[in-house]
């Protein structure tokens, strides 16, 4: 329970009728003498009101969530590398959330094992609202990908709210021969096993998109796992790998700068910031449709009022015009206000676990493979 400052006890002791009045040099006229008792009573009442108000203010103060939360720094754990898309989204919302909560928010990157290391760290944290997790679609795929997963997404976390749903792009090194998605399909099929696909490892969004690509292309590619899509994109720009599928929050800058060759966006509609990039449906590959949703989590058994304080701060952050504008430049947008709730987030997580389970089992990927 958060510590509450107690209101100091106070008492007003009336003067005994037999107690002599204090001497005074003021000579009171009869009318003034008549008003004196009333004025003294009014003064006492005013003092009581002030003290009670101060006491009430002390009891209710201590942060946006009430009850004293938060009264110190909050850490948001990102289970992927700094500079990657999930890290980017987290840092966008951290500042306005901090302003709403009245406490500093620190972003901590704990990458590894497809996001399960960072998620596991938060699952084991004290459920007090000071350790928060930002995770993406990988939260829903981990139970199938990792049979020995040390946590259960639906049981070991409280959902706070959804943040954004980010389109993905299929991109290649800038000197890769194909110029369209259909040409890319033919190129990969003509070089079975000879085309390298950069991913952030098993369970990462880039790897999930890669599974859909392999299934749609009907050919194997050579997966090259990285500790995050930040370094993966760096190697793609440098020509060390052939292609990857990653979120617009990570690829838009390189696409517009000509650092990579873009083939398609994996959503039903084109992205406003990349208006000339066709969708996979338009390019003849409707089987590859995926977007990456992000959400905030806290450990199970976090007090409801603390969860609500975080939800409220998230809602404010997603309405911040700087956040909206920054997301738009990265090809995404905040989710609808109705999705910034624990219930909407829980529903999404449950539905996505049910969807990805069969897809992953059919592909039979194994951690580290």
Domains recognised in the chain with CATH numbers: 74-165+292-363 (3.40.190.150), 167-291 (3.40.190.10)
User: Sorting pLDDT into bands at 50, 70 and 90, what band is 366?
Assistant: low
pLDDT at residue 260 in the model: 98
Whether residue 138 contacts residue 204, with contact meaning beta carbons closer than 8 Å, is answered with: yes
| Mean pLDDT computed over 280-295 | 93
Identify the H or E element spanning 43: helix 30-60
Mean of pLDDT over the chain: 83
pLDDT in tens, 37-86: 443 444 433 433 333 344 444 333 344 444 699 999 999 999 988 988 89
User: What are the residue ranges of helices labelled H in 108-155?
Assistant: 116-123, 138-145
70: its two tokens? 């938060």
pLDDT band at 202 (very low <50, low <70, confident <90, very high): confident
In this structure, the strands spanning 243-247 and 196-199 are parallel
Q: Is 287 helix (H, G, I), strand (E, B) or coil?
A: coil
pLDDT of 1:
40
Residue 365: per-residue pLDDT: 52
Average pLDDT of span 338-360: 95
Determine the length of the chain.
Answer: 369
Distance CA 71, CA 113 (A): 33
Q: What sign results for the dihedral spanned by CA atoms 315, 318, 322, 323?
A: positive
Query: What tens digit of pLDDT does each residue of 316-346 get?
Result: 999 999 999 999 998 899 999 999 999 999 9
138-174 pLDDT per residue, tens: 999 999 999 899 999 999 999 999 999 999 999 999 9
pTM of the entire structure?
A: 0.73
Residue 367's pLDDT is 52
Q: Which helix (H) or strand (E) holds 159?
A: strand 157-173
Number of Cβ atoms within 10 Å of the Cβ of 46:
10
Given this model, what pLDDT does residue 81 score?
A: 86
Q: How far apart are CA 72 and CA 63, in angstroms?
A: 10
Residue 18: pLDDT over 80: no
Distances (CA, A) of 134 to 129, 205, 282: 13, 14, 32
Residue 315 has pLDDT above 80, yes or no: yes
How is 82-106 classified by DSSP, letter by letter? TTSHHHHHHHHHHHHHHHHHTS-EE
- Write 251-258 long-range contacts (CB < 8 A, 24+): 251/169, 251/171, 252/169, 252/329, 252/330, 252/331, 254/171, 255/169, 255/171, 258/174
DSSP percent split of the chain into helix, strand, coil, nearest 5: 45, 15, 40
223-258 residue pLDDT tens: 999 888 889 999 999 999 999 999 998 899 999 999
Choose from 20-24, 159-163, 284-288, 359-363 the range with maximum mean pLDDT. Answer: 159-163
d(CA 71, CA 117): 27
> Where is average pLDDT lowest: 26-30, 84-88, 119-123, 177-181?
26-30
Range of lowest pLDDT (1-5, 212-216, 340-344): 1-5
Closest CA to 94 of 109, 86, 104: 104
Residue 222 has pLDDT above 60, yes or no: yes
Q: Cα(9)–Cα(84) distance, rounded to whole angstroms?
A: 54
CA-CA distance, 312 to 5, in Å (whole number)?
25
């Amino acid at each position: 329970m958060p510590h509450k400052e107690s209101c100091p006890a106070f008492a007003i002791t009336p003067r005994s009728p037999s107690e002599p009045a204090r001497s005074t040099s003021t000579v009171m006229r009869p009318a003034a003498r008549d008003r004196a008792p009333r004025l003294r009573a009014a003064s006492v009442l005013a003092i009581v009101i002030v003290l009670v108000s101060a006491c009430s203010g002390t009891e209710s103060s201590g942060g946006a969530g009430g009850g004293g939360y938060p009264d110190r720094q909050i850490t948001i754990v990102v289970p992927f590398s700094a500079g990657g898309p999930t890290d980017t989204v987290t840092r966008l919302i951290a500042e306005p959330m901090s302003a709403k909560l009245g406490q500093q928010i620190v972003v901590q990157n704990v990458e590894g094992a497809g996001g399960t290391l960072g998620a596991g760290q938060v699952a084991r944290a004290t459920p007090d609202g000071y350790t928060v997790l930002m995770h993406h679609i990988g939260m829903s795929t981990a139970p199938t990908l990792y049979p020995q997963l040390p946590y259960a997404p639906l049981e070991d976390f409280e959902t706070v709210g959804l943040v954004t749903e980010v389109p993905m792009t299929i991109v290649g090194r800038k000197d890769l021969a194909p110029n369209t998605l259909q040409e890319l399909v033919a190129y990969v099929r003509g070089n079975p096993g000879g085309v390298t696909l950069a991913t952030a490892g098993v369970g990462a969004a880039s790897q999930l998109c890669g599974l859909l690509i392999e299934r749609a292309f009907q050919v194997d590619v050579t997966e090259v796992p990285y500790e995050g899509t930040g370094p993966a994109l760096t190697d793609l720009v440098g020509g060390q790998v052939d292609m990857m599928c990653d979120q617009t929050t990570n690829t838009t800058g390189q696409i517009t700068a000509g650092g990579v060759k873009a083939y398609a966006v994996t959503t039903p509609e084109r992205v406003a910031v990349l208006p000339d990039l066709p969708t996979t449906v338009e390019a003849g590959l409707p089987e590859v449709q995926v977007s990456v949703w992000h959400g905030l989590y806290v450990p199970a058994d976090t007090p409801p009022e603390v969860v609500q304080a975080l939800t409220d701060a998230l809602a404010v952050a997603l309405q911040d015009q700087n956040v909206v504008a920054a997301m738009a430049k990265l090809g995404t947008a905040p989710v609808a206000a109705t999705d910034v709730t624990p219930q909407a987030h829980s529903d999404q997580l449950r539905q996505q676990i049910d969807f990805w389970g069969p897809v992953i089992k059919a592909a039979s990927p194994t951690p580290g493979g």
